[in-house]
Structure 1
């Protein structure tokens, strides 16, 4: 058995996450996901409408159709990659969305080149702006601002170069008209994300203080449960045994074996109480109401819910990761179809800590996926790699640090 290297704990707890709502508040960012396909749908609808009203100005209809197709591709990429099931939304996904949307806008400009009468009713800058407004929820503000500036320069330059406009003015005005929606909506989204992340960071400071107090309360509650278990064991085994010895006044070989067995069980309980971990406390407290309903099944810890973490790899988990794992355990414990004695949480590979939560839950896969996917997505957003497998009444959720090192700010291995 390999002990957990302190350097592994330091590396795990030192991973710097991007300052984005998706990284700092994964569950909150998931609730905002419908905004992305909604904005994408609006952009597509406006592109089709604008293309129709430009019918008399279109020089190449095939280019106009291809432009809408490329915009559709940008919307599909944004919708799929920002979905909670594919978190986190990375840098290259962001650049792909911007690149495809700007390309679509440029293709539309090409389709009406030499015949376009107004910049104001072109759909390119509006579509790009609508897609950019949601990006600060998933990417750093500086990165989104850079993308917005590049997109504004490209489309502004194309607008300034047009020579068929009915409103005569200097090229700078045309460029400003095309660039303003992009910069304005990107700035609005960035401002919202800046405020949201600031509030989230402040809330986390308050939550961290509360968590420190809660951990002490959690430890006390767990200690009370263990003390109650020991008292129950004493009342159920030791006290009757000693009482019978006192009444008989003699000690047999069978009594010696019984005393040794009782002492060994009490010793195991005492050792377990001293070496209890956060994962054990969390699992036991979450399942306590369920185990009351089935005490016989949980009398032997080998047959009941348990945590198998001999190297105490839980120490690598940060406060954010513990909060998500704790919420996930509580959600699993609350499922009506759960067999509480089937819950097993294992931790392996001290050099690259890996965890697995397994449980038997007799519920439809669709319901389980809907309830548990947010936690899998959240773990992916806080520097881990998480997967979920659902098979015929069994659920297995694995979460680990990537092999080959811890992730960088873009979620890649290094």
Structure 2
């Protein structure tokens, strides 16, 4: 699996799922601000076609941002960021072309402000350094474009004063977004470190209880099968051939139980404990198909993501638990997984209920794919062996 980037979306995918509304609001605000400024200062537009194209490119970039921020398309990639940023710079250039001979004041240009607002909207999805670097590069390009237009502006001032006016608001928003992203990442990582320490301490406390529980299970088997057999032998004081056969049968059954428990993976235990396959303790084998023992190869965060998703599926009303199938296999140094479940729920309701879990799965697994054909939901993913 690829290394996760220091972004809130990849470190806290479930918590980032709700930020799409804010992202959409900021994108819509940028488009609205550009439209209002264009209408308010339409007298400064000498070339209508570039001005209209500028609004169209800005709208397309904001729409791409809103689509890419969806939990179903996570993680938000560097390439997507660069495409959006290039579109915004193109919109700034088209806006300048539309006012090539009639721009009176640099403060009437909406491009740099909209770029800064979009960078803020990007802060949950991209690393702080990338945001700051993109802002600095954009400031250089905007500054160069402003120098080319300085002579046509109505007010007389040193050219670099116009550059400062043009890039300062955008840089302020850019560095603010960078600091915000960096602070969120630091807080999430600090919380994760504390959670790891707390989990280790809790596991140390639980080990003794688990050991007692396992011991009790063994005692139950002895009380049910072994002790009555020996008590009968002691009472008769005679060992027959039938007793030998029965003793061999009891030993084989106990051995089979112990081997089955030893070979059972955490995923099979999860299915049984979650009640996903009914009362038959061996029925987990019909749900989990893992001949290569790929389940133990998952990392702790991947196990947590799968566990949360499966529990959420089982809790959905009308879930057909007997139609749940999980297939895992090893391919070279990596592993592939597939989860198939019949969920008699409307597609939009299903996606809404499971969106946070899909976001987490996308963050911790590579090549995560969703295939929904009512009522069957198929999830495919891959991961490297841990």
TM-score by length of 1: 0.81
Distance 1:218 1:75, change over 3 A: farther
Task: Say if 2:65 and 2:84, in contact at 8 Å, map to a contact too.
Answer: yes
* Structure 2 runs not aligned, ≥5 long: none
The answer to whether 1:330 aligns with 2:323 is no
Matched, 1:387 2:369: yes
Deviates more, 1:373-382 or 1:66-75: 373-382
1:113 match: 100
Mapped pair 1:372 → 2:354: yes
Residue 345 of structure 2 is aligned to residue 363 of structure 1: yes
Judging changes above 3 Å, is the alpha-carbon distance between structure 1 residues 224 and 329 closer, same or farther for their aligned structure 2 residues?
Answer: farther
Displacement after TM superposition at 1:47 (Å) = 0.8
Aligned 1:188-267 pairs, distance under 5 A: 188-215=176-203, 263-267=251-255
Matched residues in 2 for 1:231 and 1:357: separation? 37
Q: Aligned-pair distance for 1:239?
A: 7.2
CA change 1:259–1:219 in 2 (3 A) is same
Q: CA RMSD in A?
A: 3.3
Q: How many corresponding residue pairs?
A: 384
Q: Distance in 1 between matches of 2:176 and 2:146?
A: 23
Matched residue of 2:368: which SS? strand
Q: Distance in 1 between matches of 2:324 and 2:230?
A: 36
Cα distance 1:269–1:358, how it changes in 2: closer, same or farther (>3 A)?
Answer: farther
Query: How far apart, in 1, do the equivalents of 2:163 and 2:373 lie?
Result: 57
Are the counterparts in 2 of residues 313 and 350 from structure 1 also a CA contact under 8 Å?
no
- With normalisation by structure 2, the TM-score equals 0.86
Q: Which secondary structure does the structure 1 equivalent of 2:340 belong to?
A: strand
Q: Which residue of structure 2 aligns with residue 409 of structure 1?
A: none
Contact 2:26 2:118 in 1 (8 A): yes
Residue of structure 2 equivalent to 1:178: 166
Q: Which has the higher helix share?
A: 2
Shift of 1:33: 1.8
Q: Deviations over 1:148-176 (max 9, x none)?
A: 11211222222232223232211111111
Distance in 1 (CA, whole Å) between partners of 2:121 and 2:256 is 55
Give the match's secondary structure for 1:32.
Answer: helix
**1:361 Cα deviation from its structure 2 partner:** 3.4
Question: Structure 2 residue aligned with 1:270, among 249, 258, 270?
Answer: 258
Alpha-carbon deviations, 1:27-84, whole Å to 9, x = none?
Answer: 1222212222211101110111111112111101111111100111111111111211
1:206 Cα deviation after fit:
1.1
**Alpha-carbon distance between aligned partners in 1 of 2:356 and 2:7, rounded to the nearest angstrom:** 17
Q: Give the 3 Å change call, closer, same or farther, for CA 21–364 of structure 1 in structure 2.
A: same
Q: Flag the 1:386–1:272 CA change in 2: closer, same or farther, 3 A.
A: same
Rate the CA distance shift 1:368–1:225 in 2: closer, same or farther, 3 A: farther
Matched, 1:347 2:328: yes
Determine the structure 1 residue equivalent to 2:17.
30
Q: Deviations over 1:371-408 (max 9, x none)?
A: 22332332222352212333444333222138xx99xx
> Is residue 283 from structure 1 mapped to residue 271 from structure 2 by the alignment?
yes
The structure 2 residue matched to 1:158, chosen from 145, 156, 165, is 145
Partner of 1:127: 114
Q: How big is the shift at 1:257? A: 7.3
DSSP-derived class of the 2:155 partner: coil
Q: Secondary structure at the match of 1:401?
A: strand
Give the aligned partner of residue 401 of structure 1: 383
* Structure 1, unaligned runs of 5 or more: 1-11, 407-414
Whole-Å Cα distance in 2 between the matches of residues 146 and 71 of structure 1?
A: 21
* CA separation of 1:389 and 1:225: change in aligned 2, threshold 3 A: farther
SS at structure 2 position matched to 1:115: coil
Change (3 A) 1:158 1:317: same
Secondary structure of the corresponding residue to residue 184 of structure 2: helix
Contact 1:304–1:343 under 8 Å retained in 2: no
Matched, 1:307 2:288: yes
- Preserved contact between residue 219 and residue 281 of structure 1 (Cα < 8 Å): no
> How far apart, CA to CA, are the structure 1 residues paired with 2:342 and 2:208?
29
Corresponding position of 1:142: 129
- How far does residue 271 in structure 1 lie from its aligned partner after superposition? 1.1
Q: Are positions 1:57 and 2:55 aligned together? A: no
